[in-house]
């Protein structure tokens, strides 16, 4: 009984804390409250996951209205997994944010900044918790609107145009999603995901249902930065304050991947994906995304933009897993979602620490900085290994599952693309490593000191998570397995 209330508290606590934080005086007090709230959320999310990890389900009826009429929070292993990922990254980002935000955000905006951060967290957690498609749209927009604000708070004026561009594309995506939800509602008269699934089954061939599906897919694809719709990502991640680059790169697109999984496999079904060209579209865009985004990343001259393009490529791996539409493929998607949050969070933290010292993320300004900041450089290096997929790191586990899923279907080509993507990531990460370690430092670069401890500790916490989840895969693989079983995706067979 009590856990049902906890699943709601996970959304309500940050929601109530956000306006309180906005009213606190600028300084360290807002930060302290946000720290307490995020760690409380992390505790609730871990507890929630421990309850549902063996296949149980928590169902909470908002306002006491029974589903399908009322809004239902239905927590299964996948919801809890995503909620844990989001609250975990938030809990690690906030200690990192203290010094970095004091340096990058004007003092009179600090409490508003943290308030917007909490609202973004509310939105992402809400998306992860809810079992109602319209509620999901509202939470998605809460998180998107607050992330536009957070990106616009970057120091350079181009942060404003980056946020504007993201706002335009994000709103188009959300409106597409809204159209799709409306069309499904017109056909079925329900908004509850499970109820939608049952009611869609007899009318799955209707043209309205197909149109609604197409609108939903395109809308979410904009939010998750699927390859040809990724144009908002590089600038948004580059010009955002460092702490926000970390948080958004690690969570926002991953939550969109989760929405895609829910819509495609819970509301519709894996049969629908296989009988329509959906899986081919996913595979094609995934392959293009992995190859082209990695190649574009090689030619970037800015470390944050390079990592942003790498994010686009990594998200394409997750879409590839969905396109395989088998139990193993979707397991790989879920594991990669979690692991990618760990490695991309660590990479952005390392670059953010350098930005903290030198104020700029252009590669030519970072010459030789790795030798001045050995701990930051080491963190970047290990997280990079994880991104490439070297055995012993988290990245290896997810790539391994993805390759297995491709080989299971005799898709040699896809397995080759996955490996090619890894090789390309060696190239673009080596470019950064070369600049950081082998180039001679500039005059001003020689006086740069190691990053402060409050930046290094969260960074290394993520590095240890990368190694831990690369060796002990019990949590990630088991939860992903349970989640995929509950999604009802059958193993691949001829």
Partner 1 sequence: MIDIIISHYNYWVVIMLMMAGFYTVISRGNLIKKITGINIFQTSVFLMYISIGYVSEGTPPIIAEGFTKYSNPLPHVMILTAIVVGVSTTALGLALVVRIKEAYGTIEEDEIHDQDMSL
Binding site for partner 1 (CB under 8 A): 134, 137-138, 141, 145, 148-149, 152, 157-158, 160-161, 163-164, 167-168, 171-172, 174-175, 178-179, 182, 185-186
Q: Shortest gap between Cβ of 428 and partner 1 (angstroms)? A: 24
Nearer to partner 1, 76 or 132 (CB): 132
User: Whose CA is closest to 431, among 309, 300, 245, 290?
Assistant: 300
**Residue 213 or 381: which CB sits closer to partner 1?**
213
Burial class (CB within 10 angstroms; exposed 0-12, middle 13-18, buried 19+) of 159: buried
Cis ω before 68 (30° cut-off from 0): yes
Nearest distance from residue 159's CB to partner 1, in Å? 9
- Least Å from the CB of residue 158 to partner 1: 6
Closest CB to partner 1 among 277 and 359? Answer: 359
Task: Name the residue nearer to partner 1 (CB basis): 174 or 484.
Answer: 174
User: Which region holds residue 389: left if phi is over 0, alpha if psi is between -120 and 50, else beta?
Assistant: left
Contact assessment for residue 173 and residue 222, using Cβ atoms and an 8 Å cutoff? yes
Based on CB atoms, which residue is closest to partner 1, 137 or 380?
A: 137
In angstroms, give the least distance from the CB of 321 to partner 1: 31
Residue 75 β-bridge partners:
58
Of how many residues is the chain composed?
494
Nearer to partner 1, 40 or 138 (CB): 138
- Output phi, psi for 362, to 5 deg: -65, 135
Q: Nearest approach, Cβ of 451 to partner 1 (angstroms)? A: 28
The residue (of 215 and 282) whose beta carbon lies closer to partner 1 is 215
The smaller minimum CB distance to partner 1, of residues 15 and 426, is found at 15
- Give the pair of three-digit tokens for residue 239: 């010009």
Q: What are the CA-CA distances from residue 313 to residues 155, 189, 272, 369, 386 (Å)?
A: 27, 38, 26, 27, 15
What's the min distance (Å) between Cβ of 22 and partner 1?
16
Token pair 């060696």 in the structure block, residue:
426
3-state secondary structure of 416: helix
**Cβ 175 to partner 1, closest distance in Å?**
6
Q: DSSP for 60-102?
A: EEGGGPPTTTS-EEEE-HHHHHHHHHHHHHHHHHHHHHHHHHH
- At its nearest, how many Å lie between partner 1 and the CB of residue 172? 7
């Amino acid at each position: 009984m009590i856990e049902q209330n906890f699943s709601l508290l996970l959304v309500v606590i940050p929601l109530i804390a956000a306006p309180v934080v906005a009213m606190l005086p600028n300084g360290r007090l807002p930060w302290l409250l946000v720290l307490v709230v995020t760690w409380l959320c992390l505790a609730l999310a871990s507890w929630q996951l421990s309850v549902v990890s063996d296949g149980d389900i928590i169902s909470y009826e908002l306002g006491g209205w029974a589903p399908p009429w009322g809004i239902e929070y239905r927590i299964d292993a996948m919801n809890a997994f995503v909620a844990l990922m989001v609250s975990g990254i938030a809990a690690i980002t906030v200690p990192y944010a203290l010094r970095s935000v004091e340096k990058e955000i004007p003092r009179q905006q600090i409490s508003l900044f943290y308030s917007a951060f909490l609202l973004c967290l509310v939105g992402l957690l809400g998306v992860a918790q809810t079992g109602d498609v319209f509620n999901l749209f509202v939470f998605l927009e809460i998180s998107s609107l607050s992330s536009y604000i957070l990106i616009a708070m970057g120091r350079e004026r181009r942060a404003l145009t980056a946020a504007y561009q993201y706002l335009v594309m994000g709103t188009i995506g959300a409106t597409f999603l809204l159209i799709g939800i409306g069309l499904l509602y017109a056909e079925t008269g329900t908004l509850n995901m499970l109820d939608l699934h049952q009611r869609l089954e007899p009318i799955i061939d209707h043209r309205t249902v197909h149109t609604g599906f197409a609108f939903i897919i395109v809308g979410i694809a904009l939010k998750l930065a699927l390859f040809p719709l990724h144009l908002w990502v590089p600038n948004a991640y580059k010009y955002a304050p460092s702490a926000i680059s970390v948080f958004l790169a690690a969570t926002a697109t991953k939550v969109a991947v989760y929405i895609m999984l829910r819509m495609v496999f819970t509301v519709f079904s894996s049969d629908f994906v296989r009988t329509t060209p959906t899986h081919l579209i996913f595979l094609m865009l995934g392959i293009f995304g992995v190859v082209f985004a990695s190649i574009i990343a090689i030619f970037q001259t800015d470390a944050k933009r390079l990592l942003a393009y790498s994010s686009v490529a990594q998200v394409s791996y997750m879409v590839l897993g969905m396109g395989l539409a088998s139990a193993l493929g979707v397991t790989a998607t879920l594991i990669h979602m979690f692991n990618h949050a760990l490695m991309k969070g660590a990479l952005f933290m390392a670059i953010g620490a350098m930005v903290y010292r030198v104020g700029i993320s252009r590669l030519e300004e970072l010459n030789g900085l790795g030798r001045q900041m050995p701990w930051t450089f080491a963190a970047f290096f290990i997280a990079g290994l994880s991104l490439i997929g070297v055995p012993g790191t988290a990245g290896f586990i997810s790539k391994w599952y993805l390759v297995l899923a491709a080989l299971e279907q005799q898709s040699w080509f896809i397995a080759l693309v996955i490996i090619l993507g890894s090789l390309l990531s060696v190239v673009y990460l080596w470019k950064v490593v070369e600049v950081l370690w082998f180039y001679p430092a500039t005059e001003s670069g020689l006086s740069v000191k190691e990053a402060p401890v409050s930046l290094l500790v969260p960074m290394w916490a993520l590095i240890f998570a990368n190694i831990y989840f690369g060796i002990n895969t019990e949590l990630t693989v088991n939860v992903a397995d349970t989640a995929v079983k509950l999604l009802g995706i059958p193993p691949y067979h001829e």
